[in-house]
Structure 1
Amino acid sequence: MTDDFAADVLICGAGAAGLTLGIELARRGISFRLIDKRAQPFHGSRGKGLQPRTQEIFEDLGILDKTVAAGGVYPPLRAYHPDGSYSDRDPVERLDPTPTEPYHLALMVPQFVTERIMRDRLAELGHMAEFECELTGFEQDDNGVTARIAGPTGQATIRTRYLIGADGGRSFVRGALGVDFPGKTLGVRALVADVTLTGLERDAWHQFNDGDMERMVAICPLAGTDLFQVQAPVPVDGENDLSAEGLNRILRERTSRSDMAVNSVAWASAYAMNARLADRYRVGRTFLVGDAAHIHPPTGGQGLNTSVQDAYNIGWKLAAVLSGAQDRLLDTYERERRPIAEAVLGLSTRLLEAQKQGGMRRGREVHQLDVGYPDSPLSTELPERSHGVRAGNRAPDAPVKGAAGQPSRLFRLFQGPHWTLLVFEDRRDMVAPRPGLHIYRLGTGGDVVDAWGHVREAYGLAPGECVLIRPDGYVGATFDADAIPRLEIYLSNVGVDWFKGAGVR
């Protein structure tokens, strides 16, 4: 019996994680459906910070310039004192870009703007999210998933090879799988609201009563819009009036100012802060990504970013397995991403405690540039290295020139759904060309020139060595000339097999 699959992948949830995965699959030619039970896209700003590593991902996805144009950098944090004076400081550590790390500042882009840009990119690739379309049940077998969905035209049952739960902290998919979601409620409840407001300038992130969890309120101009975001802790129990009148009451009580007023509320929510991590990310042919797999307080601006990176990790792996790679490649998703989420939970919780004391400041630890997978089964070094870039590290950027003299960057060579092999100072045909692999030779007679020495400095490779860059921008492996047969095996295991190009299969 042959299964009649409606799509290779069914993605449940069209937020940032689901949209990232959709873009990843679309640019690889993988069939999918992206559904969301909401009647329309999310229209709030819950996640407004894009960290440097996410900016690198957005560059690869082809949406960074549009994202930067739609947002801006964070303004100074203006803390108001009891005597009516105030002082300004940077809420984030400001570092200059370097050849290896081109983005060092967090961008402020309201979540609804980010997701709109992602939907536009998905449309460019010929796909769209289906709203008001709900997953109501599913069963798995060895060959695929039978999913029941309900939409405006009624109910339907479809077959798909894989199901992805990107459906948020209250994930239906996670619940249906019976996956535990242990953690704790952190004893903090907060409101967040996007409002039009008069009486404050847009040149600062205004903060009143910093460190006082009963009276604190922060009001931040949302870059690229005429809105402000209001944030404030509220009592754990009881109802919260999130109307303009209710918010004005809170502002008057906590700031003692009568010169500012909320005029309208575009979106508002009250939520309890939690730190929770799913016991498993995979059950059979079903996977959890984003908030369905982990939730944590917003301190540190890690939530949306970690979700995007989950989807960026699993996207190329799904495509590889659907194109013939061994299924065990998908097991590396949980192996790589769950420890990252666990570390983020710890970081966000520590920053929340610092905020309670009035001393939170975000440094390099929130940029996610140091995230890596050194312990992954996909990280291989032959021979083992004690210097330079290591397998599992984020692959550094560097300015280079093409042999024709035009300036370029390594990130430009990496951009796209392919693997990249950089060969240093060796003119031999070390690896046969094949679909899904771009090969560049650096050095004398090569097609890429390390004109300023930044590649050699960042990668630390000797003549005859090569480095293999994964589609998600991490170093998969380093090899020297004596280990090329092992490189061929590695490539075959991840689905980059020259036999496909030779028409043998």
Structure 2
Amino acid sequence: MELNGVKELAVLVVGAGPTGLALAADLARRGVRAVVVERSDGLFPGSRGKGIQPRTMEVFDDLGVLDGIRAAGGTYPVGMIWQDGKRRGEHRMFDETVATEAEPYAGGPWMVPQWRTQEILLARLEELGGGIDFGRELVGIAQDADGVTASFASGPPVRARYAVAADGGRSAVRRALGIGMTGETVDPSPTLVADIRVTGLDRDNWHVFPPADGQGFLTICPLPHTDDFQLVGNLVGGFEDPATEPDLSLDGIRKLVATRTHLAPDDVTEVRWASDFRPRAAMADRFREGRIFLAGDAAHVHSPAGGQGLNTSIQDAYNLGWKLGAVLRGAAPESLLDSYEEERLPVAAEMLGLSTRVHRGEVRRGAATQQLGLGYRGCSLAVETREGLPEDALHAGDRAPDGISGGVGGGAHEVHGAHGIRLFDAFRGPHWTLLTVGTEERLPTLSVPTVRIPSYEAYGTGVFLVRPDGHVGWAGRTAEGLVAYAARVGVAQAGPIPPTITHTE
């Protein structure tokens, strides 16, 4: 289809940060033609969003980038408190958690500099046939009943069925749509963040210099598999007037380090990237305007203290990708897209509150920051037909746990002779998955993989239809009502399917 000579594509993604790249890769593996446009001439060069939470590791597992993320990162080092040039003791940044069969990445966040995460996501996008159109600054966007037309400072306009604003906290798309941001300033003083080279500090610790003499905190953290450290400094009192612009030059950062630490100015040998911001918590008044969606920082801006911003953003993309794919394939009605804001806006609000409380020292970085407990109970796509479930039982809308199943069979991905399969292996890919636990219930012939498990405490007993984003969509003690739900969300019925293989040991 063309409009005024402009050829239409499926999805326009504005912004090549982690959100836009994750969404484009997810769409590409579904065969959806998307174009990513980015106003800059290259990828973001800094380490800013360096913490990848366990739930996002699960997303990366599904997207096929987990091996690259693991190779590029590492665990967070133990904090070392410094005072008067001496080590005063260790500080644990995060409450200890333990990985389990159901939560395999729950041991804590994984540290990867944001620039490296973006390189890995871009490589995956290119592997899937996509890429980025750099140097494309959006100057206007309009929509009609059939699509969206975006214009740029240079180059031709782009016409798409849908558009996604993933262009950051100062989103040009959001502003063009007139969507407001509601929130608060978490800290009126600016925070400086920089990637530096420094001598005189070991790479085994996250070096913490507490506030002293009316000055703010400063931390220097080694970044894995690089020679860099990430410096974060709160610029309050004694060094910077909050009303002035911070000095991001080499000399300015040398002065900051020498003022706040025992290091000499010349110990900072290089500044590779630097930026400043005033921590705030704000959320867009809505996440959708017709055929245009907001995702990531364009929809919600966090204090970095809780490590929630990048992770919430990538999961926005993960939630939206399968829904756009189903609608664009004609498998599901357009009304499915209404569930994006319904599901993601409350999650963003919850994570904004958590980030702010962590920033203010009201809560520690504990299990809640890992995002494994987030879900969509009570939303329109979460249909729970079992009555009397305890609150802590698995419900429709919850994240589907990992584990080792007995066997798999049926559907488009049937596997014969399976002795056992990891559930995340069965879930991986752009498809839904039908799962039974502790029941031999006769199932409808849906065109999805089917997994049968004799028993597994993490699930209880029942029939579960697991969404492409790893959440339970429908759950019941029997399959009654499953076919109607499947049709509503774009899961087709199939022809005859060979018997499902089960493991009975």
- The residue aligned with 1:179 is 179
Determine whether 1:498 maps to 2:498. no
Cα distance in 2 between the residues matched to 1:33 and 1:168: 17
TM-score (structure 1 length as normaliser)? 0.90
Aligned residues of 1:191 and 1:271 also touching (Cα < 8 A) = yes
User: Deviations along 1:282-307, whole A, 9 cap, x unmatched?
Assistant: 01000000000000110111110010
Please show how residues 244-393 of structure 1 align to structure 2 within 5 Å.
244-258=250-264, 261-324=267-330, 325-354=332-361, 361-387=364-390, 388-393=393-398
Cα distance in 1 between the residues matched to 2:79 and 2:363: 11
Q: After alignment, is 88-97 or 366-375 more displaced? A: 88-97
- The residue aligned with 1:447 is none
Aligned residues of 1:468 and 1:476 also touching (Cα < 8 A) = yes
- The residue aligned with 1:115 is 118
Determine whether 1:442 maps to 2:453. yes
- The residue aligned with 2:444 is 431
Cα distance in 2 between the residues matched to 1:92 and 1:406: 38
User: Deviations along 1:64-122, whole A, 9 cap, x unmatched?
Assistant: 11101111000000011347342012211222211111012100000000000000111
- The residue aligned with 2:227 is 226
User: Deviations along 1:249-279, whole A, 9 cap, x unmatched?
Assistant: 1111112433871111110001111111100
Cα distance in 2 between the residues matched to 1:306 and 1:361: 18
Cα distance in 2 between the residues matched to 1:29 and 1:181: 34
Deviation at 1:427, TM superposition (A): 4.8
Aligned residues of 1:323 and 1:495 also touching (Cα < 8 A) = no
Aligned residues of 1:5 and 1:161 also touching (Cα < 8 A) = no
Deviation at 1:11, TM superposition (A): 0.3
Alignment-mate amino acid for residue 270 of structure 2:
S
Structure 2: 5+ residue stretches without partners: 236-240, 409-416, 498-505
**Aligned match of 1:241 in 241, 244, 247?**
247
Q: 1:12 to 1:213 in 2, by over 3 A?
A: farther
Deviation at 1:424, TM superposition (A): 3.5
Please show how residues 99-138 of structure 1 align to structure 2 within 5 Å.
99-104=101-106, 105-138=108-141
Deviation at 1:497, TM superposition (A): 2.1
Cα distance in 2 between the residues matched to 1:141 and 1:396: 41
Q: 1:397 to 1:499 in 2, by over 3 A?
A: closer
Deviation at 1:500, TM superposition (A): 11
> Aligned Cα RMSD in Å?
2.1
- The residue aligned with 1:446 is none
Q: 1:366 to 1:260 in 2, by over 3 A?
A: farther
Cα distance in 1 between the residues matched to 2:325 and 2:102: 28
- The residue aligned with 2:500 is none
Of all paired residues, the percent bearing the same amino acid is 44
Cα distance in 2 between the residues matched to 1:299 and 1:293: 18
Aligned residues of 1:199 and 1:259 also touching (Cα < 8 A) = no
Deviation at 1:245, TM superposition (A): 1.7
> How many correspondences in the alignment?
477
Aligned residues of 2:306 and 2:356 also touching (Cα < 8 A) = no
Cα distance in 1 between the residues matched to 2:496 and 2:171: 41
Aligned residues of 1:431 and 1:488 also touching (Cα < 8 A) = yes
Q: 1:390 to 1:269 in 2, by over 3 A?
A: same
Cα distance in 2 between the residues matched to 1:18 and 1:389: 31
Instruction: Give 3-state SS (helix, strand or coil) of 1:299's partner.
Output: helix
Q: 1:83 to 1:440 in 2, by over 3 A?
A: closer
Please show how residues 71-82 of structure 1 align to structure 2 within 5 Å.
71-82=73-84
TM-score (structure 2 length as normaliser)? 0.90
Cα distance in 1 between the residues matched to 2:264 and 2:171: 42
Query: Structure 1 stretches (4+) deviating beyond 3 angstroms?
Result: 1-5, 210-213, 401-407, 424-429, 499-502
Cα distance in 1 between the residues matched to 2:213 and 2:58: 36
Instruction: Give 3-state SS (helix, strand or coil) of 1:458's partner.
Output: coil
Aligned residues of 1:236 and 1:272 also touching (Cα < 8 A) = no
Cα distance in 1 between the residues matched to 2:420 and 2:266: 51
Cα distance in 1 between the residues matched to 2:17 and 2:419: 39
- The residue aligned with 1:53 is 55
Alignment-mate amino acid for residue 110 of structure 2:
L
Cα distance in 2 between the residues matched to 1:458 and 1:298: 32
Structure 1: 5+ residue stretches without partners: 444-452
